[in-house]
Amino acid sequence: MDHGRRRSFGHARVRVLAALLLCALVMAHAATLGADEKSDILAGVPDAWRSGVSSALSGGNGTALRATYAKLDEDERRGWAFLLAHMRSHHRAKLTEPLLTEHLKYAYRARRELPWTKALPEEIFLHYVLPILSGDEPLQRWRKQFFEEVVPVLKKKRAKSLEKVALEVNKWCGQRVTFKPTPAEDSGPLDTLKRGYGRCEEEGIFFNAVARSVGLPARIASTPYWTFKASNHAWCEVYIGKSKKAARDWGFLGACEPGGKLNSAWFVGDAKRAALVLSRAIGTPESDSVLSNRGGYSVINTTRYYTKVCDMAVRVKTAEGEPASNASVTMYVFNEVGNEPYLRSVFQASTDDAGTFRFELGPGDYVVQASQGGETGWAIASSKPGKKATCDIVLGAPGLDAVSKRAQASDSRLRLELGSGAKKTKVGICRLNALPWKPQQFVDVDKAGADVELSSGFYLLQACRRKGDGEVHVVLDAVEVKDGEVVTVVLPGGKPKKRKSRKKGAGPGPVLHVLRYPRP
């Protein structure tokens, strides 16, 4: 019995080993086939997109992406490659074969069948019709549903021009979705449709999905923060093409807010006072004024569509007077959303080899920060419509030679007091070398003053107050808190004073700046 059991056990072990060996051989063969298949696919992908597509195919859903590719024709495969090359990796990782196949099939069906989409330049189609997402909403299979529901409506209305299609699509959207505040996380277009309402961003996402499903190029535009009230807003821009009647390629509308023509929404007056109007595109469109590109998405400056702009050049130099190439440039607008009054970042970009960053800016005065290698500096950029202007920043300027010094605190304290003419105010505090400058804490300062415990290092203090409709008073100060010391800062009041230059490291003291903006 014992010998029989040993023989039986030995045979079983041989069978297990044989099975494992066969499995390994199959997996190795599959891997070889997969590698060969990937090489064949990449051979047909444009050089500029190849790296992104290769990364996508190596991901956890690579099999699903290959399965989609196998079902596509030559044109659709080009769109497949474009999406994989430019979508953000966390979005790309969630793509499934049914979802991706549906979007590609119906996007190119619109391209073949709808006259306004046939005539589009490929660049416009790829960047503004093909994309599945408008922002950070969840991935959904909306294209087939909206195509089948809305194309018959457009045919019935005899919509042939891009402008007519845009107005009819917006009318259809407005009959189904209206404005209502919702939680901060964006819902997908199908969820918004089912719910029947959404925030302005969600209305824009919904409109974009419907527009793109019928081959209409669309993108969300927004002003990150208004200069004159505690809010922001988002709407949509639609491509209308070049013509003798159109002074520009893009028009705008309030998403889900039907109207009789483009460029006549309720926010037209507000947009004329905007610091910046920004839209977003997947990839980098050559035909647009791209402000920056991060994570596969371009931020596009469309401010000139809404107001007269200033051609602003931010010039950044080191403390030694050399151009600071590839320095980070951040622009700020004051806004008190959520009852937290502070300077809010509206964009970040980088300087060129000459240490310069150029962009078009709406009218008004703005705080601009530049940083490089642990050093930072700031200046006020004054924008005048139709003019050219410069904003010069020196890194490590007086009081701003901020290195990343951190130490364990022991009785380190910041004492804040009100100077003559200063009123009770809220002071925001953040690390001086932070990007962007977003207060990590707020302190209410009254006649009795206020004490703040801080670890040693360099800090930026900002106290902002809106004065009427077109003016903001801003106090900025860079301070160094040393281990075991008490630093006292007196916040100025009364009339603004010009900043006096001081020796490097001495600190200029708090200065009251007045930022002025156009009135209605």
SS3 state of residue 14? helix
Token output for 68: 């989609």
> What per-residue confidence (pLDDT) applies to 401?
38
Q: Residues 125, 83: contact at Cβ < 8 Å?
A: no
Cα end-to-end span (Å), the chain: 101
In this structure, is the dihedral angle defined by the CA atoms of residues 188, 194, 198 and 204, taken in order, positive or negative?
A: positive
CA distance 76 to 95: 16
Q: What is the pLDDT along the chain (520 residues), one digit of tens a residue?
A: 455 555 554 556 656 566 666 555 444 444 444 577 889 999 989 999 999 999 999 999 999 999 999 999 999 999 999 999 999 999 999 999 999 999 999 999 999 999 999 999 999 999 999 999 998 899 999 999 999 999 999 999 999 999 999 999 999 999 999 999 998 789 999 999 999 999 999 999 999 999 999 999 999 999 999 988 888 999 999 999 876 555 579 999 999 999 999 999 999 999 999 999 999 999 999 878 888 887 778 999 999 999 999 999 999 999 899 999 999 999 999 988 888 889 999 989 999 999 999 999 999 999 999 999 888 899 999 999 999 999 999 998 544 433 333 333 345 788 999 988 888 999 999 988 888 999 999 999 999 999 999 888 889 899 998 887 788 888 888 888 888 788 888 888 766 654 433 333 334 467 778 888 887 6
- Report the C-alpha gap between 154 and 162 in whole angstroms: 11
CA–CA dist 11, 473 (Å, integer): 87
Sign for the pseudo-dihedral over CA of 502, 504, 507, 512:
positive
Q: Count the neighbouring beta carbons within 10 Å of the beta carbon of residue 449.
A: 14
Q: Where are the CATH 2.60.40.1120 domain residues in the chain?
A: 308-394, 413-516
The per-residue pLDDT for 479 is 86
In this prediction, residue 243 carries a pLDDT of: 60
pLDDT value at residue 403: 34
**Token pair of 371 as six digits:** 């940083």
**CA torsion, points 67, 72, 76, 82, in degrees to nearest 10?**
20
- Provide φ and ψ at 411, rounded to 5°: 60, 30
Give the pLDDT score at 482: 83
Q: Which helix (H) or strand (E) holds 87?
A: none
Q: Are strands 486-491 and 413-418 parallel, antiparallel or unpaired?
A: parallel
Q: Which CATH number fits domain 116-301: 3.10.620, 3.90.700, 1.10.3470, 1.25.40?
A: 3.10.620
Strands (E), 122-232: 178-179, 197-198, 218-223
Query: 271 by DSSP, 3-state: which?
Result: helix
The tally of CA atoms less than 13 A away on the side-chain side of residue 63 is 4
Give CATH 3.10.620 domain extents, the chain.
116-301
| CATH node for 308-394 | 2.60.40.1120
Residue owning tokens 């992104």: 52
Output the CA–CA distances (angstroms, integers) from residue 482 to 331, 336, 458, 459, in the order listed. 29, 31, 9, 11
Please list, in sequence order, all residues whose beta carbon lies within 8 angstroms of the beta carbon of residue 25, skipping any fewer than 6 positions away.
none
| Burial track 422-435 (b if 16+ CB lie within 10 A, e otherwise) | beebbbbbbbbbbe
Q: Which CATH code is given to the segment(s) 413-516? A: 2.60.40.1120
pTM score: 0.85
114-to-9, 74, 84, 130, 489 alpha-carbon distances in Å: 70, 19, 25, 14, 66
Residue 266 CB neighbours (<10 A): 11
DSSP H helices, 44-161, are: 47-57, 62-70, 74-86, 89-92, 97-113, 115-118, 122-128, 143-156
Q: What share of the chain is helix, strand, coil (3-state, %, to 5)?
A: 30, 30, 40
**471: nearest Cα among 424, 512, 443:** 512
pLDDT of residue 507: 42
